[in-house]
Structure 1
Amino acid sequence: MPADTQAPPVHRAEHDVTVQAPADTVFGILSNFAQWPRFFPGTVHIEPLGTDGDELRIQVWRAPEGPAGGTRTWVSRVALDARRRTMTFRQEKSPAPLAAMSGTWRVEPLGTDRTRIVLTHAYQLLDESDRLAVDALIDRNSDLELGHLRDAAEHDHRTGPLTVTAESATELPLSAEELYELLDAAVPDATTVRVGVLGRRVAERHFTADPALTLDASVLDLTPTAAGVRLTVRRRAVLAPGEGATITALRATTRARLQKEATMTVQQLTDKAGSATDLLLYTEVVRFYARQAHLLDSGQAERWADTFTEDGEFVQNARPEPWIGRAQIRERMRTGLDRIAGEGLQRRHWLGMVDLVSYDEETVTTHYYAAIYSTVENGSPQVYLSTAVDDVLVRTPEGLKVRHRLVSHDNVR
């Protein structure tokens, strides 16, 4: 018999609420994605992904159970019709137990300051045995969303927007990707849910128990610049409704707190970025020295000399004459390595205790120890030299290079 390819049945639901506010006020809140966390329970962030024809693609993150539960995400396509005051939506790939989900929001004026909001759903299930549970969930969520949207519209119409914002910004000497990794590695506190858009943005919703706030959220935007990345921390809260004088005072204290927190976040990340910059530079320097040692110990005098600048200097306290210029450094080291090979010796350079004495955008000065081991065939390794080295490294289009090196042999005073 042929396989049953019949599509699952489409189930429908409709919910509505009446709002004491103008239809334009209601639709203005509904069509502003930044407002969605106010009335979609557990919404952490909405990220616009661009347009496809007449549709907007958005990614939605929700934590329905707050920090204690998991975060769900999906991509929806949304079509807004401001003239008809409608918003249709459909999920590109619905999370289980749904096979598909779509619907429409309709904002219908009932008078100058009275509006009806209608929310319809059409959905299919992966397993029809989930029908009762999904129906109950849609009923509960629809009533919550409509109720929150009603409250938001009525409060905004009566007292003006209850949203309070603050921001702080700085520029950091990291790439956007490096700063994103730094943010992603940090563990949020127990009341916060964090989501991210790779290399671009980190969004947080703070599920606080503060009864004075209905929403507490943060967005950290990362914008690449010529010098690194511009970090902008945006804090946003929505006040719970109250009396006029109370709201005025609460708005002022909340704005001051948000500004303090935004500024503090920028300062903390500036400090961390500085530490991260130190670590990245330290890693770069140590890798440079490792490559130099490998080239030297494998007899590649020419490539080793190329790690010096054209006018580089190699100075040893055990030798009266310094080697000046890359050409002379190459020639002298080639002669020395040929002699060592002719004697049947294998030399190994071991570097350690690398200290970045100072650095800026162009120059790095270092101090470190270098021990050289010498081994003959079938023999035991012997310490040939113990030294301390002082380098001046410079940045070039090819990477770090040595401009000046002083090797101080421990057995020479």
Structure 2
Amino acid sequence: MSQPTTHFTEHSVSIAAPADITYALIADVTGWPRLFAPTVHAERVSGDDEQEVIRLWALANGEVRTWTSRRLLDPRARTVAFRQEVSQPPVAAMGGEWRITALPDGGCAVDLLHDYAAVDDDPDGLDWIERAVDRNSRAELAALKTAAEQHERTGELVMSFEDSVDIAASAAEVYAFIDRSDLWPERLPHVSRLELTETVPGLQLMTMDTRSPDGTVHTTESARVCFEDTRIVYKQTRVPAIMTAHTGEWTFRPTADGVRATSRHTVAINPHTVRDLLGESATVADARQAVRSALGTNSLATLNLAKTHAESDRG
């Protein structure tokens, strides 16, 4: 049986930020969900800052896909080569390289190269891959440019926080409450509508209408990756205008008396919408406080209702 044909693409962008800053954003794969719209979750499975095995979960043509890649990192040359170790059909093979080149004006040029093949050279599969690579590459380079050029404001614009509740139940019972988000409109007063799609177990897409205390309704769309009984990570793919990114994680840690359930959020504030949404005198600090209050209130409400539900089931 002949090997499928390998195809090549290249996407490029110029960035008004130092090459080392830009390289660091590419090298830290755990930060990709905040930077890159297609990336839902990313983990280093093994390795170090020279070579590593990573696992990615990302949106491709409206589906959540996951794969494992090996990366070779060269901070001196500012290159990151990658090769999928485990691909999902229709992808037969996928690899490539990030190349960051310093420019005389203090900025840099970024080239993103891909090589790929479709299973059995199937034309439909090849078309699916071409569209996914082109769409995601363009989105990632645009996001990289924005993040690198705003790197001096990262500490101001990005924040993380968490809330926890101790529950006298098993981790599995509390996990089930968060996992079954399709039941949230019946269980959570602040959720008025929720549509859940889970064609692959543990990979979920959800659209949710959330009712604020002032009566307004906000629609968000999220992708979730569920690790049975231990944690659920998610990324909002449609965020309120006050944010540019929102990722989160539900964790369930057994304790001597039951389980500690924790909701963690990482949010990037959109500095260009703060005054339009909060008033002419509003600052990024005001936006941070408003987002912390809104997300924390909803998370704690969800955790406390999970507590009531799980503990009442125990009689």
TM-score if structure 1 supplies the norm length? 0.58
AA in 1 matched with 2:27: S
How big is the shift at 1:142? 1.1
Q: Which residue of 1 aligns with 2:204?
A: none
2:45–2:52 CA contact under 8 A, matched in 1: yes
1:261 is aligned, of 294, 298, 306, to: 298
Q: Which gives a bigger RCO, structure 1 or 2 (Cα 8 Å, sep 6+)? A: 2
Matched, 1:234 2:264: yes
1:222 is aligned, of 239, 252, 268, to: 252
Separation (CA, whole Å) in 1 of partners of 2:259 and 2:10: 47
Separation (CA, whole Å) in 1 of partners of 2:287 and 2:48: 42
How big is the shift at 1:104? 1.4
Q: Which residue of 2 aligns with 1:114?
A: 107
Separation (CA, whole Å) in 1 of partners of 2:114 and 2:82: 9
How big is the shift at 1:98? 1.5
Q: CA deviation digits over 1:274-325, x for unaligned, max 9?
A: 12433xxxxxxxxxxxxxxxxxxxxxxxxxxxxxxxxxxxxxxxxxxxxxxx
Q: Which residue of 1 aligns with 2:27?
A: 31
Q: What's the % identity of the aligned pairs?
A: 33
1:166–1:258 CA contact under 8 A, matched in 2: no
How big is the shift at 1:124? 1.3
Greater than 6 Å deviation, 4+ residue runs: none
Separation (CA, whole Å) in 2 of partners of 1:203 and 1:227: 25
Q: Which residue of 1 aligns with 2:123?
A: 129
AA in 2 matched with 1:18: S
1:38–1:152 CA contact under 8 A, matched in 2: no
Separation (CA, whole Å) in 2 of partners of 1:24 and 1:228: 46
1:78–1:90 CA contact under 8 A, matched in 2: yes
Separation (CA, whole Å) in 1 of partners of 2:67 and 2:292: 32
Q: Which residue of 2 aligns with 1:180?
A: 175
AA in 1 matched with 2:141: L
Please state whether the residue corresponding to 1:59 is helix, strand or coil: strand
Separation (CA, whole Å) in 2 of partners of 1:76 and 1:140: 20
2:32–2:39 CA contact under 8 A, matched in 1: yes
Separation (CA, whole Å) in 2 of partners of 1:159 and 1:50: 27
Please state whether the residue corresponding to 1:202 is helix, strand or coil: strand
How big is the shift at 1:236? 1.9
Please state whether the residue corresponding to 1:92 is helix, strand or coil: strand
Q: Which residue of 1 aligns with 2:16?
A: 20
Q: What are the ranges of 5 or more consecutive residues in structure 2 without an aligned counterpart?
A: 185-193, 195-206, 208-220, 275-281
Closer, same or farther in 2 for the Cα pair 1:174/1:77, shift >3 Å?
farther
Closer, same or farther in 2 for the Cα pair 1:269/1:139, shift >3 Å?
same
AA in 1 matched with 2:18: P
Q: Which residue of 1 aligns with 2:54?
A: 58
Q: CA deviation digits over 1:353-392, x for unaligned, max 9?
A: xxxxxxxxxxxxxxxxxxxxxxxxxxxxxxxxxxxxxxxx
Closer, same or farther in 2 for the Cα pair 1:129/1:48, shift >3 Å?
same
Matched, 1:75 2:75: no
Q: How does 1:177-326 map to 2 (within 5 A)?
A: 177-187=172-182, 189=194, 190=207, 191-242=221-272, 246-278=283-315
2:96–2:115 CA contact under 8 A, matched in 1: yes
Aligned positions, number: 271
1:177–1:199 CA contact under 8 A, matched in 2: yes
Separation (CA, whole Å) in 2 of partners of 1:159 and 1:33: 17
Question: Which is greater in Rg?
Answer: 1
